[in-house]
Amino acid sequence: MANELAWKKPQREACPGVLMAPLRDPWFVLLLALAVLGVTWTATATTPAAVKLLWHWAPALLRGLGMNIQLSVLAMALGTVLGLFVGALSLSPSSLLRRLARGYVLAFRNAPILVLVYFTTYVFPFELSLASWRVPFPDWIKVVIGLGLPASAIVAEIFRGAIQSIPSAQWEAAQSLAFRRGQIFRMIVLPQCVRRMLPSWMNLYASITMSTSLASLVGVHDLVDTATIASNTVNRTDFTILIYFTLLALFFAYCYPIARWTRHLERRHAHH
């Protein structure tokens, strides 16, 4: 999978030199410009106060971003496991199980994510009592559940769609080659499903990642929460503007590569 991460860049002829090649990448140029600006400010001791403050708050912001990433990864893991299970139920021969799965998907696909986050936070207890054990039930785990439930409904739909999109002729062909049912599912149907599901699954991950910003509303110390605290503490308009721009840039820096990779996978899928 590692080489799938490497973007295929169109070959360019007549490059003046190897050193000049990165200059054609706009993202590299942007980073370089920021670095040059930073060095100039430091060298001439003219760094704006807001930037100095931002630098001061940077470690806290990055810790907050770490929380968002943690929430998104766990919510997606929960959503995937639950979603595959519900998706499998929706393909079951029993009409009762199918209807249950359908109800689950309907309920969670049509619930606003913010409502679900509030719901899990305030309806679930702050600690769980199991016999004499008292296990704390922190808010960030409740947010993982609040984001994981709608994710699971969407994963269930993606999975069901992928399974149903495999033509029945594939089953017939594998049957005529003397495969058992289980083998057909494992070796023929599932691998084709994974390829079909991957782009939508990654899209969902990017959107869940952006939804993790809702965690700040229920008191989880994520990136947005940290930025709000910083902005209130510093209490300067220019700093507030700068820090929210930084937030946008950080979310973009995390989600954009995922979107790029998704597009790359979609194109590759279209080829085969």
Partner 1 sequence: MRIIETAAKPASRAPLVSLRDVHLAFGDAEVLKGIDVDVGRGEAVSIIGPSGSGKSTILRCITGLLRPQRGAIDVDGVRVDALTTEAQFIGLRKRVGFVFQQYNLFPHLSVLENLVISPIKVAGQPRGQAVAQARELLAKVRMDHKESAYPGELSGGQQQRVAIARALALRPELILFDEVTSALDPEMVGEVLTVISDLVDDGLTCVLVTHEMRFAEEVSDTVYFTEAGRIVESGPPSRIFGSPDSDRTRAFLRRSAGAVARVSQPDPITEYLRFDPLRLAV
| Binding region for partner 1 (CB under 8 A) out of 66-74, 170-178, 229-237, 248-256 | 170-178
Q: Does 47 bind partner 1 (CB under 8 A)?
A: no
Q: Does 233 bind partner 1 (CB under 8 A)?
A: no
Q: Does 164 bind partner 1 (CB under 8 A)?
A: no
DSSP H helical ranges for the chain = 26-44, 49-89, 95-109, 113-123, 139-165, 168-176, 181-183, 190-211, 223-234, 237-271
Greatest alpha-carbon pair distance for the chain in Å reads 77
C-alpha 1/C-alpha 6 separation (Å) is: 10
| Binding region for partner 1 (CB under 8 A) out of 95-103, 112-120, 127-135, 162-170 | 162-170
Residue (172 or 238) nearer to partner 1, CB: 172
The total number of residues written for the chain in this structure: 272
C-alpha 110/C-alpha 22 separation (Å) is: 45
Q: Select from 40, 92, 175, 233 the one that contacts partner 1 (CB under 8 A).
A: 175
Task: Give least dist CB 4 to partner 1, A.
Answer: 15
Size of the site for partner 1 (CB under 8 A): 21
Q: Select from 192, 203, 207, 240 the one that contacts partner 1 (CB under 8 A).
A: 192
Q: Does 195 bind partner 1 (CB under 8 A)?
A: yes
The total of other beta-carbon atoms located within 10 Å of residue 105's CB is 22
Q: Does 265 bind partner 1 (CB under 8 A)?
A: no
Residue (40 or 175) nearer to partner 1, CB: 175
**Amino acid identity, residue 63?**
R
| Binding region for partner 1 (CB under 8 A) out of 23-31, 99-107, 189-197, 208-216 | 189-197
Task: List C-alpha distances in Å: 24 to 5, 18, 21, 33, 89.
Answer: 20, 11, 6, 13, 50
**Amino acid identity, residue 190?**
L
Residue (39 or 173) nearer to partner 1, CB: 173
C-alpha 149/C-alpha 133 separation (Å) is: 27
Task: Give least dist CB 173 to partner 1, A.
Answer: 4
Binding site for partner 1 (CB under 8 A): 167, 169-170, 172-181, 183, 187-188, 191-192, 195, 271-272
